[in-house]
Structure formats: structure tokens, C-alpha cells
Amino acid sequence: MAIIRTILTVIFVIVCVVSVILVLLQEGRSAGLGAIAGGAETYWGKNKGRSMEGNLVKGTIGLAVAFFVLAIILNLNF
């Protein structure tokens, strides 16, 4: 069981480091006053899910889920 715990800890650390890098790569959410008048609804705003920014958001969400699952598993006494 010690080997499995060590492997899960290493994976946990890797997930933590990669998630920090993904969060730092993302752009800020501040749209300024242009968002009030609907200026944010451009072509790139509508297709944000298919862009690199959308992929970063999806990756961050996936790593956050992996972080919580691994944290819960590592906290169990097995």
C-alpha cells in the first residue's frame, strides 16, 4: 500500500504544478466598460470554447476535479 500511496502523491504533486501553470496562462476576465454595451459579443467571444483559452479553461476544470479526487483518496486511511 505504501507504493500506491507514493505513486498517488507524485501524481498529486504533478496535478498541482500543472494546474498552477494553466491558471497563470489564462487571460484576465476583466472586460472593462465594453461589456456593458455588449461589446464582448464578438466572433471570438462566441467561439471561445473552441479557442486555446477555452481549452485552458477545460483543462483547469479537469485538473481541479483530479485535485479534489486525489486529495480525498490520499486522506483516506488505507
Q: Rounded CA gap, 58 and 22, in Å?
A: 10
Give the model confidence (pLDDT) of 6-59 as tens digits. Answer: 999 999 999 999 999 999 998 876 655 555 655 555 555 556 667 888 899 999
Does the residue 3 lie in any domain? yes
Q: What is the pLDDT of residue 77?
A: 79
- Judged against a pLDDT cut of 90, whether residue 64 lies above it is answered with yes
- CB atoms near residue 16 (< 10 Å): 15
By the 8 A CB rule, do 64 and 20 touch? no
**Domain tally, the chain:** 1
Q: What is the pLDDT of residue 19?
A: 96
> Which residues form the domain of 64?
1-16+38-78
Does the residue 22 lie in any domain? no
